[in-house]
Every structure is written in C-alpha cells, then in structure tokens.
Amino acid sequence: MIYLTRRYRFSAGHRLHNDSLSQEENRRVYGKCNNPNGHGHNYLLEVTIAGSIDPATGMIFDLVELDGIVNERVLDKFDHKNLNLDMENFRALVPTTENLCLEIYRLLRGPLEEAGAERSMQLSRVRLEETSLNSFEYVPENAGGR
C-alpha cells in the first residue's frame, strides 16, 4: 500500500454558535469563537489517498486529476466563504473544524474512489489545520490498513 498526501490551502470564516444553547452557554462553550461577527482562518488541508502503484505510470494517482477533484469539490465551495451563511450544510450544523473535516471527507470520497477504482484506490485521511496549534483529522476505520 502506498500513500499519497497532497496539501491545499483555503480561507473561510465562521461563527461557532448553537441555536439550541443559551447565549451564556454558547459563550462558555465557544468563547471568542462565538463572536457575533464571526472570525476567519487560513486552513491547511491535507488529503491522503491509499492504493497501489500503476505499473504504466509509476504513480498512485494523477496529481492533476487529484487537484481538479479537490478544487471542484472543496476549494471552489469553501474558499473565501462564510461557512454559516454561504454553506447550506452548515446552517444547521455548527461549523467546527471537526465538522468541516468530516464534510470534506464526505465530499471527496466518492469522486476520488470512483476515479481510482481500477487500482482500488481509496481516500485514507483528511487532515485540516485550523491554526498552528489546532489540527483535526478524519481517518475512516477501513482506511487502507492505517
């Protein structure tokens, strides 16, 4: 099994707020991230795929194709957006980086695995760095032996 990890960057704003909590609870749970005007991050996204090497190309996956899928499915949708206001799926779901990481995995899994089906390639991991101190990753249970 070979793993390929590619990095991408995007910027987005959000407000961490749960309408089912009181104002006091929201402030306690989310602190300064509950600012009514929101705040933003310059996210670093890592996408890891697992598979075998194609004997004809010597590669696990075509990087141009990978970039195209990530651009279309993630970067074009999230970059320079307010996650709460511009993203339908985060109108009812708190746009924490944990939830954002899982949503990115969901958006990429089908298209990437379909594109790499003949080599049994799979999306192995999505890692999202919110700040130099915080990063989150989603690794499914069946992720290529990881």
Q: Which pairing describes strands 39-51 and 122-129: parallel, antiparallel, or unpaired?
A: antiparallel
CB-based contact 136:51 (threshold 8 Å): no
3-state DSSP helix/strand/coil percent for the chain, to nearest 5?
40, 25, 35
Tokens (6 digits) for 110: 């089908």
The one catalytic residue in 39, 65, 72, 80 is 80
In angstroms, rounded to a whole number, what is the distance separating the alpha carbons of residues 120 and 125?
Answer: 15
Q: Kindly give the residue spans of alpha helices, DSSP state H, lying in the chain.
A: 23-30, 63-70, 76-78, 83-86, 97-115
Give yes or no: 130 in active site.
yes
Of the listed 129, 130, 137, 141, which one is catalytic?
Answer: 130
Catalytic residue, chosen from 33, 46, 98, 113, is: 33
Q: Catalytic residue numbers? A: 33, 80, 130
